[in-house]
């Protein structure tokens, strides 16, 4: 019977690779195997497991953070930030690339919605960068890489989901992700500087006449206004969590309300905007939770077949050192990111490997950040990286898919370097949560 869990896992994987919907593939195949293995008693267990997941208080943060991100997209903050950054850095060689990086980091700390960030920056900045003589690979690469920063810079939906799977407080994951997020931004910045040195014509400065378009009356007032509102929102959300005033779920509610107020202050709030935001939030949330239901069914059957036990025995019998198993697991997650979405990886792979790491006495907080940084690459890795599709959808016709692939590869390598740094120095993750905890 030991081959049954492997057959079950391979069947699910084959149907996913054939392009069938993830949630229905996970749920449907799990129900079929569950009936074969456990009979109709399976239907007595499954609803209880699903209800246990759906009543998880922590997961309420998911729709609230999604609402906050989409509402901020409608507020026009990204557009204002990009124009302001162009004022500050436009005269420097590579200044527009630095502007995109800074805005991506700020939007990541404000929204955490990758699609919205990439599309917004692609529409606003890519045509300007190409017009100013930026090499297509350089322009598209920094836009896609900056757009994914919301996956590691808190508040991050990835960290919320990982917290629920690993049974690690989400607030601790948020705090632990701060330094890795800063390291990633610094590495991206260093790569921009290197490009300006080795290929100065690929990242030119903006000419004065182009900068004049961004200028107007009250330049410094515009800069202040562009930064102060999103900064206040980030402070309200992350500050309340780090200070221990609010749980991540409560802070997400504060963020959703704050994003709505901010949109009102910008004069862009009306009933049609609210309706559009709510519909999109409902659509994305439904997708996430349908996958979660399917993954719950998968997990129930896989564990009912003792698949997790067989896997643990196989690994332990191989007498792998913890760091070898960590390397294999991170490599497997990285390869999975080429083909399937980060949500599927979280709900399928992580529940299988997490108990093994726990038995090896690996710190699950550190593991959660490593997995989050690894999953971030799934948005960038060809051929199915979501940011590539997002940007291709809004890029000018002359921008080819192969150019997008070439542009994103250096940033995938940089993310792997950042991941290696965090593997070598766990205290980069663990120091800040301990400091705040004290």
Using only C-alpha atoms, the chain has a radius of gyration, in whole angstroms, of 22
What pLDDT, on a 0 to 100 scale, did the predictor assign at position 311? 66
Q: Where are the domains of the chain?
A: 56-269+305-437
Q: Determine contact, residues 311/44, Cβ cutoff 8 Å.
A: no
Question: Rounded CA gap, 316 and 359, in Å?
Answer: 10
What pLDDT, on a 0 to 100 scale, did the predictor assign at position 438? 47
Q: What is the pTM of this model?
A: 0.77
Q: Tell the residue number behind the tokens 């729709």, with chain if given.
A: 63
3-class secondary structure per residue, 18-38: CCCCHHHHHHHHHHHHHHHHH
- Find, among 162, 142, 165, the residue nearest to 154 by Cα: 162
- Find, among 20, 27, 13, 19, the residue nearest to 295 by Cα: 27
Q: Tell the residue number behind the tokens 């901020």, with chain if given.
A: 72
Phi-psi region of 320 (alpha: psi -120 to 50; beta: other; left: phi over 0): beta
Chain centroid offset of residue 358 CA: 24
* H helical segments located in 305-426: 307-317, 322-336, 342-348, 350-359, 364-376, 386-394, 401-424
Q: Is 303 exposed, middle or buried (0-12, 13-18, 19+ CB in 10 A)?
A: middle
Task: Please list, in sequence order, all residues whose beta carbon lies within 8 angstroms of the beta carbon of residue 116, skipping any fewer than 6 positions away.
Answer: 69, 70, 72, 73
Q: How far is it between the farthest Cα atoms of the chain?
A: 75
Question: Rounded CA gap, 122 and 33, in Å?
Answer: 44
Q: Tell the residue number behind the tokens 């610094």, with chain if given.
A: 186
What pLDDT, on a 0 to 100 scale, did the predictor assign at position 191? 93
Q: Tell the residue number behind the tokens 């993750």, with chain if given.
A: 429
Q: Tell the residue number behind the tokens 């998911």, with chain if given.
A: 62
How confident is the prediction along the chain (438 residues), in pLDDT tens digits per residue? Answer: 567 777 887 888 788 777 777 778 878 888 888 888 878 777 777 787 777 777 777 778 778 878 887 887 777 776 777 777 777 776 778 888 888 888 888 777 766 666 667 777 787 778 878 877 888 888 899 988 988 888 888 878 888 888 888 888 888 998 999 999 999 999 999 999 999 888 888 888 776 666 665 555 566 667 777 777 777 887 888 788 777 788 878 888 888 898 898 888 888 889 998 999 899 888 878 877 887 788 778 777 877 777 666 766 666 666 677 888 888 888 888 877 776 667 777 877 888 888 888 888 889 999 999 999 998 887 787 766 778 877 887 788 888 888 888 888 999 999 999 999 999 999 999 998 888 764
- Find, among 259, 295, 265, 304, the residue nearest to 277 by Cα: 259
């Amino acid at each position: 019977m030991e081959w049954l869990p492997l057959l079950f896992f391979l069947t699910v994987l084959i149907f996913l690779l054939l392009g069938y919907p993830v949630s229905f593939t996970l749920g449907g195949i799990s129900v079929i195997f569950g009936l074969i293995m456990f009979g109709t008693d399976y239907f007595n267990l499954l609803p209880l497991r699903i209800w246990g997941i759906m009543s998880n208080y922590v997961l309420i943060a998911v729709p609230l953070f999604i609402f906050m991100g989409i509402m901020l997209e409608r507020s026009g903050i990204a557009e204002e930030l990009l124009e302001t950054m162009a004022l500050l850095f436009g005269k420097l060689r590579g200044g527009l690339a630095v502007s995109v990086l800074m805005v991506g980091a700020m939007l990541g700390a404000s929204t955490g919605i990758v699609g919205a960030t990439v599309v917004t920056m692609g529409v606003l900045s890519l045509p300007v960068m190409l017009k100013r003589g930026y090499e297509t690979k350089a322009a598209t690469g920094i836009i896609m890489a900056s757009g994914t920063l919301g996956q590691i810079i808190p508040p991050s939906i990835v960290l919320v989901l990982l917290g629920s799977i690993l049974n690690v407080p989400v607030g601790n994951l948020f705090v632990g992700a701060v330094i890795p997020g800063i390291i990633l931004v610094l590495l991206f910045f260093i790569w921009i500087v290197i490009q300006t040195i080795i290929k100065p014509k690929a990242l030119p400065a903006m000419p004065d006449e182009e900068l004049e378009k961004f200028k107007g009356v009250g330049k410094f007032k515009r800069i202040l206004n562009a930064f102060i509102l999103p900064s206040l929102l980030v402070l309200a959300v992350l500050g309340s969590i780090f200070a221990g005033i609010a749980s991540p779920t409560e802070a997400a509610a504060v963020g959703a309300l704050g994003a709505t107020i901010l949109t009102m202050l910008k004069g862009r709030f009306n009933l049609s905007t609210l309706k559009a935001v709510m519909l999109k939030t409902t659509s994305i949330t439904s997708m996430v939770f349908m996958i979660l239901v399917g993954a719950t069914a998968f997990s129930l059957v896989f564990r009912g077949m003792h698949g997790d036990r067989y896997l643990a025995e196989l690994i332990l019998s191989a007498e792998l050192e913890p760091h070898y198993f960590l390397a294999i697991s991170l490599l497997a997650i990285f390869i999975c990111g080429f083909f399937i979405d980060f949500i599927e990886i979280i709900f399928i792979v992580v529940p299988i490997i997490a108990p093994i790491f726990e038995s090896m006495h690996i710190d699950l907080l550190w593991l959660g950040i490593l997995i989050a940084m690894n999953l971030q690459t799934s948005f960038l890795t060809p051929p199915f990286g979501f940011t590539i599709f997002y940007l291709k959808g809004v890029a000018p016709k002359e921008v080819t898919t192969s150019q997008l692939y070439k542009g994103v590869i250096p940033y995938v390598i940089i993310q792997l370097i950042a991941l290696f740094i965090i593997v070598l120095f766990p205290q980069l993750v663990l120091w800040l949560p301990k400091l705040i905890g004290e």
